[in-house]
Amino acid sequence: MSQGIAEVNNINIWWEDFGDSSDPAVLLIMGANANAMQWTLEFINPLVSAGFHVIRFDNRDVGKSTWLTTEPSFVIQEGEMVSTEVSYNLEDMAQDAVSLLEHLGIEKAHIVGASMGGMITQVIGLDHPNKALSLTPIMSTPGAGLEDENLSPPTESLMSGMMKSMEHNMKGEYLDGLVCIYRELIGSRYPFDEEKFREGAKEIMDHGHNPFPGHGAAVSSSPHRKDRLKEINLPTLVIHGTEDAILPFDHGQALANGIPNAQMMVLEGVGHEIPQQMTEEITSRLIEHFNSI
């Protein structure tokens, strides 16, 4: 295991890798407002044991990578959250990931992304296909933040939780803010355990918690990918829970239907999460996906 800082795109990207660097690479891209520690060792170790070189990294604006946004990138107008301008979008974040691979001397990797990371995964598949061996968007969407009448909006309870979270963040109560959001993101299959969540969240926050990253606004300002999905010509596995509150199940279905020959793993009763109880099942499917190429 090694870690370091890659100076790419005029910013610093913190990274950490596991396994033998001569093995096929797997790049893990985390979602909005979350740092690399959300990719747990319980998730990473089975991939390493199966013969893969795994890299996790902090996206810009979180963890130990460069923070470009430290003020709220959303404002509340008439009871709704509206994104403000930020200095980057998903295309820039995809370039960060690709530049990191180049920095590490990795020609191609299996790209696995959660939520916003799954959106970045799609952008890599569309704009940097020569860098990818396969794609796995988990709990993701072809586009969020732009009007798409065909895709379900977030649940009202999730939006209420986000508003409460913002109120806590403005008071500096960052852990309470996370609890408000994650309580709403968890599906009914494995109920939310607040005590366990708080314990794990402290460790993740110690790695570097930016309460106001520009990720949400970056997602909102990026083009919708629905009409371009047919251009993706890479083996793709879509993983999505049936009880996702922020990107409902039809977002995952839209990806699986839009990407030629995509496979889909449906997580019954699961929300916007990678449940610890399903780690073995999910990583086994990932390994099968990687080895099928």
- Residue 103 identity: H
pLDDT, average across residues 24-31 = 98
Q: Is 203 helix (H, G, I), strand (E, B) or coil?
A: helix
In this structure, the strands spanning 11-18 and 53-57 are antiparallel
pLDDT computed for residue 12 by the predictor? 98
> How high is the mean pLDDT of the chain?
92
Q: What percent of the chain has a predicted confidence (pLDDT) above 70?
A: 94
180 is a domain residue? no
283 is a domain residue? yes
pLDDT exceeds cutoff 80 at 240: yes
Report which of residues 86 and 36 the model is more confident about.
Answer: 36
- Looking at residue 281, which CATH number applies to its domain? 3.40.50.1820
176 is a domain residue? no
Domain that holds residue 224: 2-152+214-291
Report which of residues 86 and 236 the model is more confident about.
Answer: 236
207 is a domain residue? no
38 is a domain residue? yes
Do 152 and 228 form a contact (C-beta atoms < 8 A)?
Answer: no
- The pTM assigned to this predicted structure is 0.93
184 is a domain residue? no
Do 126 and 231 form a contact (C-beta atoms < 8 A)?
Answer: yes
How many structural domains does the chain have?
A: 1
Q: In this predicted structure, which of 14-23, 48-57, 83-92, 234-243 has the lowest mean pLDDT?
A: 83-92
pLDDT computed for residue 68 by the predictor? 92
